[in-house]
Amino acid sequence: MIHFGAVLVLTLLSALFFRRRSSLPTTYVTFMWVATMAGAAVLTYIGLAGLDEEFTLPKHVGAAARDVIIAAAWTGYMFRSERVRATFRARLPSGGTEANST
């Protein structure tokens, strides 16, 4: 079920990307942080339940720290970059249908 939800969100992100929608940066960053936290929760459960014999706490913490650093870097880029602001600027008109953008 979680994988199906991820596929739906990634499909939405692809549509937002190719249409250069202004909501892409926020949606992408939200998805990345949710995926990072969900991944950490699953790994923690697997480790604490004893389902993975190769689980070690330092390895798990290192992987989680790496994921958080990557998510933080993308968050900063998406919200502070002039290039992102210049690229993703298309908005829905107030009528609710997409306008022709040039």
CB 88 within 8 A of CB 79: no
Which pLDDT belongs to residue 100? 55
Which pLDDT belongs to residue 50? 79
Give first-to-last CA distance, the chain, whole Å.
38
Q: Which amino acid is at 78?
A: M
Which pLDDT belongs to residue 75? 96
Which pLDDT belongs to residue 56? 80
CA dist., res. 60 & res. 87, Å (int): 36
Domain boundaries, the chain: 2-87
Which of residues 100 and 82 earns the better pLDDT score? Answer: 82
pLDDT one-digit tens code per residue, 8-66: 989 999 999 999 999 999 999 999 999 999 988 888 888 888 787 787 878 888 888 99
Q: Indicate the burial class of 24 (C-beta count within 10 angstroms; 0-12, 13-18, 19 or more).
A: buried
Biggest alpha carbon–alpha carbon distance for the chain? 56
CB 46 within 8 A of CB 66: no
90 beta partners: 21
CB 27 within 8 A of CB 17: no
